[in-house]
Amino acid sequence: MPSPATGSPTPITVRLPDGRRLGLTRYGNPAHRPVVFHHGFGSSGLELPDEPALLARLQLQLLAFDRPGVGQSDVYRRLSFPSFADDVVVALEALNISGPVGVMGWSVGGVHALALAARHPARVAAVQLLSTCLPLGEPDAYRHLTPTWKLLRWGQTAFPWANRTTFLWLSRQWARHPDRAIGGFIRLMRPEEARVTARFRTLLRDAAVQGFANHGRGVYDDAQAWCRRPGFRIEDVQAPAVLWHGEADGVWSPVNIPYLAQRLGHAPVRLVPGAGHMLYLEQWPAILEEMSALLPNAP
């Protein structure tokens, strides 16, 4: 494991008990309060803005893990929400982080954040869900999905070979023509998502290149895990949770966010007018300020 630098994004790899490598990017000072960040689908731990001065003022460090098959992390075909939650806890111990941590998740990363908090409640002090999704394979949550998401889940489970082929093709596009790939995605987005993605184009492009590493295997396994039964109960989350969502989210409609908040003990919802699915990028300072307030003070 490399000696971490202070203040700048630092790549780190941890060796898990079964021999796999788990990669992460550390933002901020390793002496400060730790916050685990779960990236979105088809992305990686590089999707965070680099704000060293803000992190230093709040005395926070961010540990942005790459899920198996993404970026620095080895492929793990049996990926599930519980397996990755367990991997993260092992990695925290390897990094000598023994106390409760803050946990954030953007998009499908929100489901991974819930899994960590539900499976390891003693390790999680607070949770922020940023433009989060629901677990597609949970029967109760499935009833709240839009017809589009029900169709996407059906396609992923009924025709896995087609999705594997699609993700393999996308991995080649991101590896060979990253600027063309990000431009193509921007053209397909709704106006609010397109505006923010264009503003953070380089950041999101580089994160997606790593997201689709390993021939897109990690993205495929992540999608399969998302579509299966989640392996945890949302109601088992004990830490205080806050949901941030955009009223103009064109990827995951805010219509079922009150349902999720109710299952989390009527957790507060920060519904941001005019914001889309990329909300976290423009609300980053406010999100970090809130996380700082939710965590215990630094010793």
User: pLDDT exceeding 70 applies to what percent of the chain?
Assistant: 97
Could you say which architecture CATH assigns to the domain 10-294? 3-Layer(aba) Sandwich (3.40)
Instruction: Please list the helix, strand and coil fractions of the chain in percent, rounded to the nearest 5, in that order.
Output: 50, 15, 35
User: pLDDT exceeding 90 applies to what percent of the chain?
Assistant: 96
pLDDT at position 156: 93
The model's pTM = 0.95
Domain ranges of the chain: 10-294
Q: Are 275 and 250 in contact (CB under 8 A)?
A: no
pLDDT at position 194: 97
pLDDT in tens, 29-48: 999 999 999 999 999 999 99
Instruction: Supply the DSSP symbol for 252.
Output: S
pLDDT at position 8: 75
Question: Which residue(s) pair with 27 in the sheet?
Answer: 62
User: Residue 7: is its pLDDT beyond 80?
Assistant: no
Q: Where residue 297 falls among pLDDT bands split at 50, 70, 90?
A: confident
Using alpha carbons, list the distances in angstroms from residue 128 to 64, 125, 156, 172, 178.
14, 11, 28, 33, 30
